[in-house]
Amino acid sequence: MRAIVRDLLWIGTAVDACNIKAVLDLGITAVVDLAIEEQPVLFPREIIYCRVPMVDGGGNAPPIIRLAIDATTTLLRFSVPTLVTCGGGMSRSPAVAAAALALVRGTSPDTILEDIAKSGAHDVVPALWAEIKAAVVS
């Protein structure tokens, strides 16, 4: 798991999400799971768990993209410590996290994604990023 905003926002992999002890130890109280290819994680009852299955590329339905962004944005606006995960933690999770942070901060998603990219490995699929940016603008 990689902290994007200290004590508020992390991005990670499906394996990270399965490490429930590590999630709880970090004080994370909400998980936005974007990995369509993974099984849902069974968290303790006190964890908010939003599963929004997305493919890592183009072809995601606009309501699915919007739901992932809106759920993450709402959690951040209410200062809920949140982990956003996908299969490898390098495309869907940084892209959705960047879009949500951009909405919270009133700035460009591209700027936020560039900042996230500087903090660690990333490989955002261009078709996915185009869909996410279109959802932020609409």
Write down the pLDDT at residue 21: 97
Closest residue by Cα to residue 131 from 89, 101, 97, 95? 95
Indicate whether this model's pTM tops 0.85. yes
Helix (H) or strand (E) holding 126: helix 126-137
User: What are the angstrom distances between the C-alpha of 35 and each of 4, 106, 138?
Assistant: 19, 27, 24
Write down the pLDDT at residue 121: 85
Mean pLDDT by 10 residues, the chain (138 residues): 96 96 97 96 96 95 97 98 96 97 96 93 94 91
Pick the CATH number of 2-137 from 3.65.10.10, 3.90.190.10, 3.40.50.170, 3.40.50.150: 3.90.190.10
User: What are the angstrom distances between the C-alpha of 27 and each of 12, 18, 24, 59?
Assistant: 15, 15, 5, 34
* Residues in Cβ contact with 30 at an 8 Å cutoff, skipping those fewer than 6 apart: 47, 48, 49, 50, 75, 80, 81, 82, 83
